[in-house]
Amino acid sequence: MPSDIRRLIIDTDTAADDSFALIVGLLHPRANLEAVTIVAGNVPFEQQVQNALLTIKKTGREGEVPVHLGARVPLTREWVESKAHGDGKGNHDFEASTQSPSDEAAAHALVRLVDENPGEIDIIAIGPLTNIATAVMLDRDFAKKVRELWIMGGCDNSVGNVTAAAEYNFYVDPEAADIVLRAGFETTIATWTLTLAQATWSDEQLAEIAKIDNDLARYFTIVNKPNIEYNKTHGIMGSTHPDSVTAMMLVRPDLVKARSRKFVAVETKSDLTRGYSLFDDRPERNAPNATIIDEIDSLGFYEAYVELLETGPRA
Ligand code: CA
């Protein structure tokens, strides 16, 4: 396999932008998506599974990439749904996928695939980190064998999107985030802070996408709609793309304009600041454990995504 092609597993609570991240994994020429693992998050678990299978179908790759079922609840807490996505597929009735989920549980698939291919596989984790934490607990060397772990999560010392303190993925399962950030992965983080400033597409940009005449672009526009409406009620104009920006920056690192190394830790004890992510850039006090994406080529991200949609489903 050419060296610029990344072997991927995407761990996802599939709704809306998760589906758009899956499209990157499924269709980008520099991505080879080997498995999808589903974790409790945005919308009810079975709906997430259907959303992932539907997205695979919409890219023309039905039956080609296994979908593994993972944690149905966070490690120690009650599940918290996201209000931002409706049913995660635009509240629209699509013809369902005929692909069935794999019999192998997500954490087992993660451990097996990484163990069979040490140093070869990147994981893109775009939901709560429950499955990744479970894999860490199943295999003490898991983190060392993963090539890179790319996380969508946290906000750079606030402001969050669930509470003022916390971003959704870290809020839902802070214990899992804590385990994962301490596990010794080669970690890159795309935050909610980055998303708001640099991965939000305007009504004008979305209107351009709506003109693309193929089934995949039409799927994007339908699935994206509830997010636009939700954002308007929260003072954000356009649609936010935290998960797809994470996936795209992994396969298009040339679009990352600035990175920094920081120590990142997640609050697990407080009710007030549950899931708060502390970003400390004083290496003399706290050794960095993650690379943070600080700045991207925002227009380049949009254009790269439009190119994927214009190419359409795989024949
Ligand atoms: Ca997600």
| Digit-coded pLDDT (tens) for 236-252 | 999 999 999 999 999 99
Whether the pLDDT of residue 1 is over 60: the answer is no
pLDDT score, position 3: 72
pLDDT score, position 2: 62
How far does the centroid of ligand 1 lie from the alpha carbon of residue 17, in Å?
7
Angle at 290 between CA 285 and CA 294, to 5 degrees: 100
Q: For residue 123, what are the contacts with CB-CB under 8 A and spacing of at least 6?
A: 8, 9, 10, 11, 110, 114, 132, 146, 148, 149, 150
Task: Break the chain into its structural domains and give their ranges.
Answer: 6-311
Q: How many CA atoms lie within 13 A of 290 on its CB side?
A: 29
As a whole number, mean pLDDT of residues 54-79 equals 98
Angle, to 10 degrees, between the axis of helix 17-27 and the axis of helix 242-251?
A: 20
d(CA 280, CA 287): 9
Give the DSSP H or E segment for 54. Answer: helix 45-58
Cβ atoms of 101 and 67 closer than 8 Å: yes
Q: For residue 140, what are the contacts with CB-CB under 8 A and spacing of at least 6?
A: none
As a whole number, mean pLDDT of residues 86-112 equals 97
How far does the centroid of ligand 1 lie from the alpha carbon of residue 243, in Å?
6
How far does the centroid of ligand 1 lie from the alpha carbon of residue 15, in Å?
7
How far does the centroid of ligand 1 lie from the alpha carbon of residue 285, in Å?
32
How far does the centroid of ligand 1 lie from the alpha carbon of residue 14, in Å?
6
Residues 218/223/226/229 CA torsion (nearest 10 deg): -40
Using alpha carbons, select from 86, 87, 168 the residue that is nearest to residue 129.
Answer: 168
Q: Can you tell me which residue has the tokens 């761990």?
A: 11
pLDDT score, position 130: 98
Q: Which CATH superfamily is domain 6-311 in?
A: Ribonucleoside hydrolase-like (3.90.245.10)
As a whole number, mean pLDDT of residues 120-143 equals 98
